[in-house]
Chain A
Amino acid sequence: MKILVPVKRVIDFNVKVRVKGDGSGVDLANVKMSMNPFDEVAVEEALRLKEAGVADEIVVVSIGVKQAQDVLRTAMAMGADRAILVVAADDVHQDIEPLAVAKILAAVAKEEQPGLIIAGKQAIDNDMNATGQMLAALLGWGQATFASEVKIEDGKARVTREVDGGLQVIEVKLPAIITADLRLNEPRYASLPNIMKAKKKPLDEKTPADYGVDVTPRLTAVKTSEPPVRKAGVKVASVDELVTKLKETGVI
């Protein structure tokens, strides 16, 4: 079975995000970018399925700017077999919307015929949490989102989902789409020998036009602003002092 894993290049989770001066978005110039952490989990899960003999090939795909090849190389250094880069934007500030991404992924899936697609549950930049679901709808496949455990047997995926208030176990027929939650696994380090080998793995470059998809934005971002700055707190020495302070400030 082949597994397709979409991966997105996003602002690194360690970077202190700054809004551009004109409020038109987040400043991404000269900022460290990395693979979306949820996608790293998805890659890891695919690798584990391959190591367990369930899958025999892992194809990673990224849609975005040319620099997204960084995250594809990283995925191949972790162990993915080959990569597809769909160059859909020139400007790092241009985000491709979930529907366009899902349409491209659906076209890639038709070409590649994977038995399973594992995606991250959301990208940490825009937190849309939509691509996996839209892709399932476009392909007419089953979906198991927010996975914290995955078992593949008899042409089915048994997926434990993290939902409000607990865990839910569902079964979906393959081919299907699974979206990964952080607790699904702990991604491995790309080993140095594998990093050196990744150089020789194939990376195909495509455009949205190759798949007949229009990536023109449908949404307009009206304004981006920083969250309000929290006021500095005070330290209290005892519970009594805490209660007094809370009363003073009118909280209780």
Chain B
Amino acid sequence: MDFGLSDEQRMIVETTRAFVETELMPHELEVERSGVLRDELRLELQGKAIEAGLYAANMPEEVGGAGLDTLSWLLYEKELGKTSYALHWNTVCRPSNILMACEGEQRDRYLLPAVRGERHDCQALTEPGAGSDLRGMKTSARADGDDFILNGTKHFISHADTADFAIVWVATGEEDSPRGRRALITAFLVDKGTPGFTVREGYRNVSHRGYPNSILEFDDCRLPKGQILGELHKGFEVAGQWLGATRLQVASTCLGRAERALALATEYAAQRRQFGQQIGKFQGVSFKLADMATELKAAELLTREAAWKYDQGTVTEADMAMAKLKATEALAMIADEAIQIHGGMGLMDELPLERIWRDARVERIWEGTSEIQRHIISREMLRPLGG
């Protein structure tokens, strides 16, 4: 097994890193202190990302993306992940892969403009009453002739404020299953401005300043059936087909931030002196560094292996769950210890550590909580034994 990077992968890392360091990082303090990414700055940086050929690199070549294999894509995600979500997600956009399920004129209205940076998507699954248990969602669509009429509320929907359209999962019926009645789910493409569809300001949260989440309301929102993404009642299938690797993306962005925090902590331990010597000479500090580096490497290897298996077509749900679980928890530990090594200075916003520490918190919750990842992993172990 070859653990090295190919020439292409090395260049992808170098280019993305150079872009993040020169174009994005200089704006971090402004975004953190003001809590907003100004529209003007967002558009300027998006323009630069398009020019640099970094935009939508997750998408296949035939629709205008870079056509990266999964490992290369994740290396790019890791470098982007070093800066704040507001700065990398809203400027070097990665349109949702699920748009590859667009068919016919949907491609011209949603997929292709998203790859070109002309339109932006957001994804709405979560509801006030349905988080981990998505199938319990109450937002529904009922058929009315050739149309569907949507009613209900979604919340915590990231970057819906700047999105032009939403991919929305709703209940479209019920079926019998071995464990009783369960909802049938369908995904719809909903343009902003569609009558009956409102995006409201969401909650303020501790992580990812300048990257807001919104509340989406559907009040007799009428959509023609051509707005269905994939097939009727097959909303989770289309999600499963295209969004599987999103957990690896979360893992990778976490690795990026963890690496940055560890680098800062290492440098500080070598330079800061107390009691007449470098603090890194105290075992209490140096052993922390060793543990942080080991956690990071373990998480990185899990993520890379899952990426490699993804391309081989042999990846399992548990592989991806383990990578997401380990990377998000490693980031939490590394961010916390990096602050400890810095003492008081670690908490000051002149350094990116307090941000990395705050931003780490949401990673164990979104894209499936750590408990849900453990549930997935253990289910894969116990199921063959009848568990």
Contacts and interface: CB of A to CB of B under 8 A. Distances in A.
Given A192-B76, A193-B66, A199 B7 contact: yes
Contact of A194 (B7, B18, B53, B68): B53
B11 to A, nearest CB: 5
Contacts of A193: 53, 57, 61, 65-67
B7 A189 contact: no
Contacts of B61: 193, 196
Contact of A192 (B10, B18, B66): B66
Interface stretch (A67-75, A174-182, A212-220): A67-75
B67 A77 contact: no
9 contacts: A188-B52, A190-B11, A190-B15, A193-B57, A193-B67, A194-B53, A195-B66, A198-B11, A199-B8
A242 to B, nearest CB: 26
B57 A192 contact: yes
B14 interface: yes
A72 B277 CA distance: 45
Contacts of A188: 52
Nearest to A193: B66
A224 interface: no
Given A73-B7, A189-B52, A191-B53, A196 B68 contact: yes
A191 B7 contact: no
Contacts of A74: 11, 14
B248 interface: no
A192 B52 CA distance: 8
A9 B22 CA distance: 22
Interface in B13-35: 14-16, 18-19
Given A195-B11, A196-B61, A189 B68 contact: no
A75 B8 CA distance: 12
Contacts of A69: 7
A195 B12 contact: yes
Interface of A: 34, 69-70, 73-74, 77, 188-196, 198-199
A194 B7 CA distance: 13
A214 B89 CA distance: 53
Interface string B24-63: 0000000000000000000000000000111001000100
A196 B8 CA distance: 6
Contacts of B66: 191-193, 195-196
For B53, B57, B68, B76, the residue with the greatest tally of chain A CB atoms inside 10 Å of its CB is: B53
Interface centre among B11, B15, B52, B76 (most CB of A within 10 A): B11
Contacts of B18: 189
A77 B11 contact: yes
A196 B68 CA distance: 8
A195 B53 CA distance: 10
Given A192-B54, A192-B68, A196-B68, A70 B10 contact: yes
B71 to A, nearest CB: 13
A191 B52 contact: yes
Contacts of A196: 8, 61, 66-68
Given A191-B53, A193-B67, A195-B8, 4 more contacts: A74-B11, A189-B15, A190-B15, A199-B8
A189 to B, nearest CB: 4
Q: Identify the interface centre among A188, A189, A194, A198: most chain B CB within 10 Å of its CB.
A: A189
B83 to A, nearest CB: 16
A192 B7 contact: no
Contacts of B67: 193, 196
A83 to B, nearest CB: 12
A248 to B, nearest CB: 26
A169 B11 CA distance: 36
Nearest to B16: A192
Nearest to A195: B11
Contact of A70 (B7, B16, B54, B65): B7
B223 to A, nearest CB: 34
Contacts of A190: 11, 14-15, 53
A213 B65 CA distance: 45
B211 to A, nearest CB: 23
A192 B15 CA distance: 8
A199 B14 CA distance: 16
A194 B8 CA distance: 10
Interface in B244-290: none
Nearest to A73: B7
A190 B51 CA distance: 10
B112 to A, nearest CB: 15
B14 A192 contact: no
Contacts of B68: 192, 196
B92 to A, nearest CB: 10
A117 to B, nearest CB: 25
Contacts of B7: 69-70, 73, 198-199
A191 B76 CA distance: 12
A65 to B, nearest CB: 15
Interface string B329-366: 00000000000000000000000000000000000000
A70 B10 CA distance: 9
A99 B52 CA distance: 37
Contacts of B57: 192-193
Nearest to A192: B66
Nearest to B11: A195
Nearest to B64: A193
* Residue in A74, A77, A195 whose Cβ sees the most chain B Cβ within 10 Å: A195
Given A194-B53, A196-B8, A199-B7, A189 B19 contact: yes
